[in-house]
Structure 1
Amino acid sequence: MNKTLTTLLFVLLTYWSVAQSITVTGKVTDERGDVLVGASVVQRGSGNGTITDAGGTYSLNVLGPAAVLVVTYVGYSTIERAVGAGGTQDFQMENATVLNQVTVVGSRNLNRSSTDTPAPVDVIDIREVTTRQGQLDVNQLLQFAAPSFNSNRQTGSDGADHVDPASLRGLGPDQTLVLINGKRRHQSSLVNLFGSRGRGNTGTDLNAIPAAAIERIEILRDGASAQYGSDAIAGVINIVLKETVNQLSANVNAGIYQAKYRFDNKKFDGLNYNVNLNYGVAIAKKGFVNVTADYNFRDHTNRANTVSSEADLARRQYGDPKMGNAALYYNAKIPLGKNVQFYTFGGLNRRNGDAYAWTRFADDDRNIPSIYPNGFDPIITSKIDDRAVTGGFRGVWRSWDIDVSNTYGFNKFHFGVENSLNASFGPLSQTEFDAGGFQLGQNVSNLNVSRYYKNILQGLNVAFGAEYRTERYKIFAGERASYYNYDPAKAGGSQGFPGYSPSDVTNKSRSNVGAYLDLEADVTKNLLIDIAGRFENYSDFGSTVNGKLGLRYKITDALAARGSVSTGFRAPSLAQKYFNSTFTNFVNGQPVEVLLANNNSAVTQALGIPQLKQETSQNASLGLTYTPSARLSVTVDGYYVKVKDRVVLTGQFSDDDKEIGSLLRALRVGKAQFFTNALAYTTTKGLDVIVAHNMPLGAGRLSSTLAANFNWMELGPVNTVPKLAGKEDIYFDDRERRFVLSSAPPSKINLTLDYSVDKWSFMVRLIHFGEIRLTNWDYEQDVYAPKVQTDVTVNYKFTKNISLSLGASNLLNVYPDMSLPALTESGGAWDPVQMGSNGAFYFARLGFRF
């Protein structure tokens, strides 16, 4: 495969070397004819752009006469103009009646394009991506569009079956900050306990946001805590909602998986379909309201029947959960005067799911044969309510851009259990249970102020602001039969997922206040310097101060070097501090009751486990950008991230342990584990490479992208406590270490070729996933060798308003290597790694735009 990629790259570079483009030059001025320094000039639909120099002039190579230039400057109306034959294109900007800002994550300079930032930023056009991919939700779209992003669906992982954990650059799901329209998004209330990704982490549920509501996604691949606060250790994902008006967009999508490993003659399963509508209404001269309605359904897949005998079978049902996901989102801006606007956005999401838990076979002592003669497969159901709303005012006062806003977000996770029983109740046990759940509410108020001084140096942007955030986390109990033990000689609670008991009930809150200063200066025409600092104080663990220095130097008009150094932090989530539960784990296929004890429990206090504290990080990056023409861009960025005092979920201590054994026996649990700052540090080193090119070919045009991520992680020593000295291998054992090390493949390479001609377009994509190693229950390594997935899509435009896409993801039906189901964390022949274990997915998409 590596030879294939090398050959294809050589062919593409041969075409690129002879590529031609049009050079456009000109000047940007205001209404009085005064030059505007730092105005953004960008070729629409690409990352190709520049800014005006001290004389207000620019020079830009664009692709062909059909290219459209987009010129923006804070406080002025945006201008779009076709290039035509090239030559000179001057622009005179007019004062905006409302603000038209260019928001690019990673820079608070509103005139900065993504290609001008001192840190790498990926800009993903969702309309383009959804036309060419079969994936229907945001996590899976990004999994196959951004090499540094990784997300795999879990199975048999309790709540993680219903909320897909995701990671950036191989770090934890909770070490990536998510923004919507530049405002902090709330996290999920779920803490991941099982599975090969996100173990012990709380992340953000990206699938609560419908792809149909999104214009683009910006991914800042750099530490940014000094700019945006907690969680931004790995980077920032900014989701920009649509602003279109007077246009109705509608899409109908459907797809189904091909089952390679099913022996019941059922070759296809896991039906997926999605329908969505988007429409915007203009308000006054520059205002709008844009609304999206979206419904996404996916059915179960089953990949359990991979062994020859039931003795080797851990589960009769292994695969995707069934899920119904409905969302209603909006985005609005309303002008209130010449330089003031009110904006608001947000939405509602409701998800109902059911996922199979581990099988209780007929002879299992947790089964009651009179109820289930053949054993049973418990079903864990979920009702997830997610909602968020932001409202704010943005205006210009004496050249200062002022933005004040408030954002409220809420996530509630309510569990149910079906096709189950409480063995301790006996033959009269009910088979359905309300198991309780948890919820998280977050409110963020912030003030952002910025000003661009065009006459200081070659342009200076000053930004400062403050933020106040409150959070509240609750656990609520299930019905009595879901958790109670009626007969001490038998297992109590609902099988598959014991409910939360009154002793688990939690109601905790905290607050924090933060302030930042960000200075970004074009010191010379070629040198950009960005300096940022941030102070935050948390009510539960104190204060932290972080800083960042970023540089970008233009060696030539085509070649630039960029880099940054920074410190960062992540506050432990309230779920990590206060989550408390008793659940059933399967070790070598045998059920064991496990207590997950919170920071204030009798178990953690008996052991002297300290209160959780914040993770801190040291980040560094260095890269090159090369744009010799409008047709070719190359970026290479290396990075280094050291995270100290990393919060993880410990290994499990048994009831025969001399320190806490008697305590566990009194609680009727076989094992206990907890959250601690167990790892002294983790060190991640990596490299991101992106090569993008487009060119005329025959009667059409070929666009090609090679995007790759390589990363290497090392784990430091284990931080333990005096009472557990010498037990580091239990405190954080090899299984837990491998879960952290395997947060992402060591390499992920995406080669995409997209050819358009007349009404047709054709896409071929090859995705290479590197080797993954996990430790199984026998404490031997399961090796998932490198694999390549092949995707193809054909799109045809019947008219300018109607199009049809047909295609296949994983066309060659490739799976990860198999393991023994009884020994994996998931109970299937594969843990959730690489491209997943569902196989080929065939899809159709019909799009309308009027």
Structure 2
Amino acid sequence: MPKIYIILVLFFISSFAFAQSLQVSGKITDEKGDPLIGASVIEKGTNNGTTANGNGAYSLSVTYSNATLIVTYVGYNKIEKEINGASTLNFALSDATILSQVTVVGSRNLNRSSTDTPVPVDVIDIREITTKQGQLDVNQLLQFAAPSFNSNRQTGSDGADHVDPASLRGLGPDQTLVLINGKRRHQSSLVNLFGTRGRGNTGTDLNAIPAAAIERIEILRDGAAAQYGSDAIAGVINIVLKESVNQLTANVNAGIFKAKYRFDDKKYDGLNYNVNLNYGLAIAKKGFINVTADYNFRDHTNRANSVASESDLARRRFGDPKINNAAVYYNAKIPIGRRIQVYSFGGFNERKGDAYAWTRFPDDDRNIPSVYPDGFDPLITSKISDRAVTAGIRGVWKSWDIDLSNTYGFNKFHFGVENSLNRSLGELSQTSFDAGGFQLAQNVSNLNVTRFYKGIMEGLNVAFGGELRTERYKIFAGERPSYYNYNPEFPGGSQGFPGYSPTDATSKSRSNVGAYADVEADLTKQFLIDAAVRFESYSDFGSTLNGKVGLRYKVTDALAIRGAVSTGFRAPSLAQKYFNSTFTNFVNGEAVEVLLANNNSAVTKALGIPKLKQETSQNASLGFTFTPASRLSITVDGYYVKVKNRVVLTGQFSDDDDEIGDLLKTLRVGKAQFFTNALSYTTTKGVDIIVAHSAPVGMGRLSTTFAANFNWMDLGPVNTSPKLAGKEDIYFDDRERRFVLASAPPSKVNLTFDYTVDKFSVMLRIIRFGEVRLTNWDYEVDTYKSRVQSDVTLNYRLTKQFSLSVGGSNILNVYPDKSSPALTESGGSWDPVQMGYNGAFFFTRLGFRF
């Protein structure tokens, strides 16, 4: 074992030895003074806690004299109090009302916490992690905070350069459902075509939601289609917006990458900076409106390999795109009497970016030397508009909690091309183009009805409801020079990214209606069972019925076993059904025109490709939670997910194919590919392990967390049409199989030490990414060996109003293994794997709170 790991393990163990504490005791009762037996008491910011005994009494050793205690009990309002050095502290909890109940993803019980659900739920405090790490957007924050979450920035991937694909447990981005305040979030209109993550999938653009607007993020690591609807095969991410009032918070963040591989002599590039403001205003007695404004800028990085000769290069510009990202979000609730409230939340995001496309060198037949004597590097520009709004009313009628809402979401992706030309226009060609784009609109009407029965068994929660969802997808054409060929002797359209033509344009819609029922019962104080069933009917895919059963058994006060089995369903997105385009791909450094034909095209009909059908899944999980000491918790959860008829993007059929070769030549394209249910099944097996410990050490407190994900994926046989029998290696070849298998590293291990002394804290984080293997254009395996990244952050609270953080991510400037740029998917020395290819990032952050 390397010395650094020995030292860290010893440091972890030593934290037990220096424990010092302050004893606090008291009694927990209801408003009438009756004891609340089993009420939970937790020291805030730690896993240190206890429960009240038969008389409602508790006793707890805390770390600091100013520690804050959180007291909860099913059916009652949560209370937080700072002890202020007191050794005795009593709590009187009031009955929960509609305005104070909190929904935790994974349970319909409005009074249940994330720690006692039958399935694993991670709750990530955004304020805590934004203070301790340099990442500024939600995808990158979660990439380094949650081991089962994976998101890599990509380059040379067209639209995916501007919208980072993300996934849970190595499954597809479209197999994770995203909620905001418990309501379904719309997906991006983008379908990912290139890169190693999310190939052929649509996903949700998490970076459209500013981190400064978020209170916490809940990640349900289990299949939940029966509870929340289709797409929740891998799990659910619930983003909870801030509700704070009478407090202004502001942050100024800045960071820059240390450049190791560049053509020029620049030592640093990729400047990032962020400015955000958040303020909440109280309305009436318990109402509020909380508003966030956020601006984030990210400049280009360039990691084209300066060591290689030009003949070895596919690109002179290879790195992050430039992004300008602005957003305004709000969250509001207004009470109408004691038992009714109206609420609304949402916001808009505007993003402009430009990303490097593949280089056209001076002697390239796609270049015009009189226009670009040195060749040119096209820029693919984007203008992304994203907006969403939810409005609803919630009330209590005869103990039934009724929630009626409507959510509208819209995402538009408009492409442009700069520093380019249309070769078929010759020297008269313009150099900038409007390339068209696509958009997706979604409307969801939702009714949820819930009731909690305290007197049945040890507590029974009943929930049911329905949902109506409509979606519309459009592709709109670019200007004529962006796609048209004016001279058949030369390639037409804008180089770097050919625009969408009128033949690509489409407008399609569908609707979906669903209904669910959910029963959750504490049969005894030790045994919880949860059962859910959901029916859905799509206008284009028919009906489905899915179920889930979850169990949690408390063996002792310290040990609980939990598990679940469920089925799932995902209808192919409208983009997967109807997207079509002609684009330029590079195979062994050579440009090839590729047709991506939709499921109803002449090409797919000529090959006998069947209509897309839904994916179905079977999920199972089993694990335990163990608290052997007051400041130590251990959770281990194994999982199994089998997805049948998985939708993927096929390999590329060439114009010499005996079935469609002549057709492709007529269409003036060299290759064609399409979306199909190519994989008969995939099976993903894995385990999540989280160990958390907190204890006094010296004059401060040390919090130590070990979090790891290990996963294994197998791919089943390839489904082909009769006309393509024997062509499975083209239909879904080894390159495509490797892309699916590389959706996540086979392991990701995160070891974090967070030490706090009064106003000062230091965080050390070490992350190990497992080995990733991809197949290059020569159909040889590129191996990206395991890598370890080290992060350090120092934080000092200057006053109650000001705090300063400085630090670095990947401070040892570690990169993945290099590959040949001409043979990789990205055209650079690295595909977007593991921790990425940008190297060390150094940052500073100034926080204000008034």
Within-5 A mapping of 1:410-809: 410-809=410-809
**Does the C-alpha gap of structure 1 residues 396 and 51 become closer, same or farther in structure 2, counting only changes over 3 Å?**
farther
User: C-alpha separation between the residues in 2 aligned to 1:325 and 1:309?
Assistant: 36
Other structure's SS at 1:332 match: strand
User: C-alpha separation between the residues in 1 aligned to 2:465 and 2:403?
Assistant: 9
* Structure 2 portions without partners, runs of 5+: none
User: C-alpha separation between the residues in 2 aligned to 1:619 and 1:268?
Assistant: 46
User: C-alpha separation between the residues in 1 aligned to 2:598 and 2:501?
Assistant: 14
Structure 1 position 28, deviation (Å): 3.9
**Does the C-alpha gap of structure 1 residues 407 and 40 become closer, same or farther in structure 2, counting only changes over 3 Å?**
farther
User: C-alpha separation between the residues in 2 aligned to 1:766 and 1:385?
Assistant: 36
Other structure's SS at 2:428 match: coil
* TM-score after normalising by structure 2: 0.97
User: C-alpha separation between the residues in 2 aligned to 1:398 and 1:68?
Assistant: 36
Structure 1 position 712, deviation (Å): 0.6
User: C-alpha separation between the residues in 2 aligned to 1:212 and 1:28?
Assistant: 36
- Give the structure 2 partner of residue 402 of structure 1: 402
Q: Does 1:155 align with 2:155?
A: yes
Other structure's SS at 1:706 match: strand
- Give the structure 1 partner of residue 92 of structure 2: 91
Structure 1 position 735, deviation (Å): 0.2
Q: Given that residues 51 and 112 in structure 1 are in contact (C-alpha distance below 8 angstroms), is that contact kept between their aligned partners in structure 2?
A: no
Percent sequence identity over matched residues? 77
User: C-alpha separation between the residues in 2 aligned to 1:69 and 1:652?
Assistant: 60
* TM-score after normalising by structure 1: 0.97
User: C-alpha separation between the residues in 2 aligned to 1:234 and 1:49?
Assistant: 31
Cα distance per residue 1:85-104 (max 9 Å; x no partner): 567744241564x5211221
Q: Given that residues 755 and 761 in structure 1 are in contact (C-alpha distance below 8 angstroms), is that contact kept between their aligned partners in structure 2?
A: yes
Structure 1 position 36, deviation (Å): 6.8
Q: Given that residues 411 and 440 in structure 2 are in contact (C-alpha distance below 8 angstroms), is that contact kept between their aligned partners in structure 1?
A: yes
Q: Given that residues 527 and 553 in structure 1 are in contact (C-alpha distance below 8 angstroms), is that contact kept between their aligned partners in structure 2?
A: yes
Q: Given that residues 46 and 694 in structure 2 are in contact (C-alpha distance below 8 angstroms), is that contact kept between their aligned partners in structure 1?
A: no
Cα distance per residue 1:193-227 (max 9 Å; x no partner): 00111100000000000000011111111111110
Q: CA RMSD in A?
A: 2.0
Other structure's SS at 1:367 match: coil
Structure 1 position 46, deviation (Å): 4.6
Q: Which moved more, 1:622-631 or 1:385-394?
A: 622-631
Q: Given that residues 49 and 630 in structure 2 are in contact (C-alpha distance below 8 angstroms), is that contact kept between their aligned partners in structure 1?
A: no
Instruction: Give, as a single letter, the amino acid of the residue that structure 1 aligns with 2:356.
Output: Y
Q: Given that residues 49 and 115 in structure 1 are in contact (C-alpha distance below 8 angstroms), is that contact kept between their aligned partners in structure 2?
A: no
User: C-alpha separation between the residues in 1 aligned to 2:661 and 2:293?
Assistant: 53
Q: Given that residues 212 and 278 in structure 2 are in contact (C-alpha distance below 8 angstroms), is that contact kept between their aligned partners in structure 1?
A: yes
- Give the structure 2 partner of residue 290 of structure 1: 290
User: C-alpha separation between the residues in 2 aligned to 1:56 and 1:678?
Assistant: 62
Q: Given that residues 493 and 499 in structure 2 are in contact (C-alpha distance below 8 angstroms), is that contact kept between their aligned partners in structure 1?
A: yes
User: C-alpha separation between the residues in 2 aligned to 1:2 and 1:457?
Assistant: 53
Structure 1 position 758, deviation (Å): 2.1
**Does the C-alpha gap of structure 1 residues 103 and 38 become closer, same or farther in structure 2, counting only changes over 3 Å?**
farther
Other structure's SS at 1:159 match: helix
User: C-alpha separation between the residues in 2 aligned to 1:138 and 1:587?
Assistant: 34
Q: Given that residues 42 and 113 in structure 1 are in contact (C-alpha distance below 8 angstroms), is that contact kept between their aligned partners in structure 2?
A: no
Q: Given that residues 541 and 613 in structure 1 are in contact (C-alpha distance below 8 angstroms), is that contact kept between their aligned partners in structure 2?
A: yes
Q: Given that residues 73 and 110 in structure 1 are in contact (C-alpha distance below 8 angstroms), is that contact kept between their aligned partners in structure 2?
A: no
Other structure's SS at 1:755 match: strand
Instruction: Give, as a single letter, the amino acid of the residue that structure 1 aligns with 2:758.
Output: D
Cα distance per residue 1:482-541 (max 9 Å; x no partner): 000011111010000000000000100000011111111111111111111111000001
User: C-alpha separation between the residues in 1 aligned to 2:835 and 2:748?
Assistant: 11
User: C-alpha separation between the residues in 2 aligned to 1:77 and 1:552?
Assistant: 24
Count of residue correspondences: 847
- Give the structure 1 partner of residue 225 of structure 2: 225
User: C-alpha separation between the residues in 1 aligned to 2:532 and 2:490?
Assistant: 59
Cα distance per residue 1:795-820 (max 9 Å; x no partner): 11110110111111110100000000
Instruction: Give, as a single letter, the amino acid of the residue that structure 1 aligns with 2:393.
Output: F
- Give the structure 1 partner of residue 353 of structure 2: 353
User: C-alpha separation between the residues in 1 aligned to 2:532 and 2:129?
Assistant: 33
Q: Given that residues 302 and 320 in structure 2 are in contact (C-alpha distance below 8 angstroms), is that contact kept between their aligned partners in structure 1?
A: yes
User: C-alpha separation between the residues in 2 aligned to 1:66 and 1:521?
Assistant: 37
Instruction: Give, as a single letter, the amino acid of the residue that structure 2 aligns with 1:519.
Output: V
Other structure's SS at 2:226 match: helix
Other structure's SS at 1:375 match: coil
User: C-alpha separation between the residues in 2 aligned to 1:695 and 1:39?
Assistant: 23
Structure 1 position 239, deviation (Å): 0.5
Structure 1 position 631, deviation (Å): 1.4
User: C-alpha separation between the residues in 1 aligned to 2:579 and 2:55?
Assistant: 57
User: C-alpha separation between the residues in 2 aligned to 1:721 and 1:243?
Assistant: 54
- Give the structure 1 partner of residue 62 of structure 2: 63
Cα distance per residue 1:381-411 (max 9 Å; x no partner): 0000000000111111111111111000000
Structure 1 position 42, deviation (Å): 5.0
Structure 1 position 19, deviation (Å): 5.2
User: C-alpha separation between the residues in 2 aligned to 1:155 and 1:749?
Assistant: 26
**Does the C-alpha gap of structure 1 residues 754 and 190 become closer, same or farther in structure 2, counting only changes over 3 Å?**
same
Structure 1 position 624, deviation (Å): 1.1
User: C-alpha separation between the residues in 1 aligned to 2:325 and 2:141?
Assistant: 16
**Does the C-alpha gap of structure 1 residues 732 and 146 become closer, same or farther in structure 2, counting only changes over 3 Å?**
same
User: C-alpha separation between the residues in 2 aligned to 1:617 and 1:4?
Assistant: 42
* Structure 1 portions without partners, runs of 5+: none
Within-5 A mapping of 1:225-304: 225-304=225-304
Q: Given that residues 75 and 99 in structure 1 are in contact (C-alpha distance below 8 angstroms), is that contact kept between their aligned partners in structure 2?
A: no
User: C-alpha separation between the residues in 1 aligned to 2:88 and 2:236?
Assistant: 38
Other structure's SS at 1:131 match: helix
Q: Does 1:341 align with 2:378?
A: no
Q: Given that residues 47 and 114 in structure 1 are in contact (C-alpha distance below 8 angstroms), is that contact kept between their aligned partners in structure 2?
A: no
User: C-alpha separation between the residues in 1 aligned to 2:315 and 2:568?
Assistant: 42
Within-5 A mapping of 1:47-58: 57=56
Q: Given that residues 593 and 669 in structure 2 are in contact (C-alpha distance below 8 angstroms), is that contact kept between their aligned partners in structure 1?
A: yes
Other structure's SS at 1:427 match: helix
Instruction: Give, as a single letter, the amino acid of the residue that structure 2 aligns with 1:382.
Output: S
Cα distance per residue 1:81-134 (max 9 Å; x no partner): 3456567744241564x5211221101111111110111111111111011101
**Does the C-alpha gap of structure 1 residues 329 and 645 become closer, same or farther in structure 2, counting only changes over 3 Å?**
same
Cα distance per residue 1:59-81 (max 9 Å; x no partner): 68563464433345688654333
User: C-alpha separation between the residues in 1 aligned to 2:87 and 2:631?
Assistant: 15
Instruction: Give, as a single letter, the amino acid of the residue that structure 2 aligns with 1:283.
Output: I
- Give the structure 1 partner of residue 128 of structure 2: 128
